[in-house]
């Protein structure tokens, strides 16, 4: 338990350093790739979250998914990437090549839909090379470009996100 606390403290320091760096700019009119990071507690909302890609007419290959689990377990019906604390070193470096590759991809829109205090997911969010990072908690303001306060209602989150994207696309074309 103490070891996990030390590891999470290192994660928080790394998150603060990574949050200071802006990776790249993305225009909402050029969203061609989406990544979703969620935790196992919010797995039930995955199909709802995928609607963002459908609404933007993206292909299934343009959507990447990573899900955090406390322990390395198989999740029935899930075909995306799983990660856990064991995939991140004590110094907050990613030591899983698949997870590292995920963070290095150019992602236009990154959606983080997890519990508010999921430090491992926040670290992955900070590592990701994404143009627009969206989440739902004010506490993560330094990491995110957009915050959509939707509590646990994934449909409200998706509807609001699509609404913002559509309005911004219209304003960019004026």
Alpha-carbon distance of 92 to 120, in angstroms, equals 9
Average confidence score pLDDT of the chain: 84
Q: What is the pLDDT of residue 156?
A: 96
Alpha-carbon distance of 43 to 78, in angstroms, equals 9
Give residue-wise pLDDT tens across range 3-30: 566 666 676 666 666 666 655 565 666 7
Give residue-wise pLDDT tens across range 38-48: 999 999 999 99
- Please check the confidence at residue 94 and state whether its pLDDT lies above 60: yes
Q: What is the CATH number of the domain that holds 94?
A: 3.40.50
Which residue range is the domain that position 168 belongs to?
Answer: 2-173
Higher pLDDT, 71 or 110: 110
Classified as helix, coil or strand, 126 is helix
What domain count does the chain have?
1
Helix, strand, coil percentages in the chain from 3-state DSSP, rounded to 5: 45, 20, 35
Lowest mean pLDDT: which of 9-18, 19-28, 117-126, 142-151?
A: 19-28
Confidence (pTM): 0.86
Q: What is the pLDDT of residue 168?
A: 81
- Say which residues have a Cβ less than 8 Å from residue 111's Cβ, sequence separation at least 6: 34, 35, 36, 37, 49, 52, 134, 135, 161
Alpha-carbon distance of 11 to 16, in angstroms, equals 9
Q: What is the pLDDT of residue 151?
A: 84
């Amino acid at each position: 338990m103490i070891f996990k606390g030390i590891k999470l403290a290192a994660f928080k320091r790394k998150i603060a350093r990574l949050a200071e760096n802006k990776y790249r700019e993305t225009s909402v009119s050029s969203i061609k790739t989406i990544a979703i990071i969620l935790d196992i507690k919010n797995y039930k909302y995955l199909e709802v979250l995928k609607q963002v890609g459908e609404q933007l007419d993206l292909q299934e290959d343009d959507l990447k998914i990573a899900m955090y689990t406390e322990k390395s377990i198989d999740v029935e019906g899930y075909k995306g990437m799983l990660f856990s604390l064991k995939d991140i070193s004590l110094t907050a470096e990613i030591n899983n090549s698949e997870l590292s590759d995920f963070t290095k991809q150019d992602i236009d829109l990154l959606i983080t839909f997890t519990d508010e205090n999921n430090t491992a997911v926040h670290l992955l969010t900070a590592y990701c090379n994404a143009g627009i990072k969206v989440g739902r908690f004010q506490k993560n303001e330094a990491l995110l470009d957009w915050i959509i306060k939707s509590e646990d209602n994934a449909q409200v989150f998706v509807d609001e996100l699509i609404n913002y994207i559509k309005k911004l696309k219209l304003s960019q074309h004026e």
